[in-house]
Amino acid sequence: MTIPFEPEFLGVSVNVHLILEYLAFFIAFRYYLVLRRNSQDAISNKNRLSIILGAIVGAFLGSRLMGYLENPIIVLTQANLFYLLNTKTIMGGLFGGLIGVESVKKMIGEKQSSGDLFTLPIIAGIFIGRIGCFLSGTNEFTYGTETSFFMGMDLGDGLLRHPTSLYELVFLVLLYLIINYFKKSKKLENGDLFKIFMISYFGFRFLIEFIKPNVFWVFGLSSIQWLCIICWIYYIKFFRKVFQYAY
């Protein structure tokens, strides 16, 4: 198999990344439904639906905004506008979804934490999507910089690059196992699992950005890395709680 992986079906080239992206959404949502059915959800069906809608809207706007900030385009031509509408990133989707959820919860007066049920399905969805990113090679801006490291791979342009999508797949498996282990702990409060996921995943992405060929930097950091810092600041109270508990 060569990368990018572009199979043909009945003479038509198949976009594997797009198929896996839709599959990721489908499986993640079905996984969430199974978890909710097998657990005692403190949030009513009506409020939970509102929260999901808030997450969808926030994720859509956030993913597009951060996609734009990864490589800002000043001249708004028709071609550039089409590019902006199709540019997205999971990091903006996650943080945008978080803001959308918290905004909706304030509007409807919901006090219960809502993230724990989403945590494992989100990890599963990202995992499936990252397989598509890896198979797309250099057709998707998820590859790494050139390297002489033994893990270097030809992702479609004849150069040995860091397979950052593979690194992320390994990290997601470990994170899934850790979150699933903490899920059984009685010391965690409702909502802590999602916070652990966000802090861990954004921490990983902060580090992996240093071996990606970003083109837009602010004070030596990419737009994704600045978003990671904003996420950590957002969860500063949780950091304090963890440090106090450890102490």
- Most confident range (mean pLDDT) of 18-32, 57-71, 133-147 is 18-32
Say whether 74 sits in a helix, a strand or coil. coil
pTM above 0.85, yes or no: yes
Please give the pLDDT value at position 85. 62
> How much is the mean pLDDT over the chain?
87
Contact 142, 163 (CB under 8 A): no
Q: Is the pLDDT of residue 79 over 80?
A: no
Query: Which residues partner with 9 through β-bridges?
Result: 12
Look at residue 47 in the predicted model and tell me its pLDDT. Answer: 87
Amino acid at 116: D
Q: What are the pLDDT digits (tens) for 41-55? A: 778 888 888 998 999
Tokens of 164: 């950052």
Question: Where is average pLDDT lowest: 18-22, 86-90, 109-113, 114-118?
Answer: 86-90
pLDDT in tens, 152-185: 899 888 889 999 999 999 999 999 999 998 887 7
Indicate whether 195 pLDDT > 90: yes
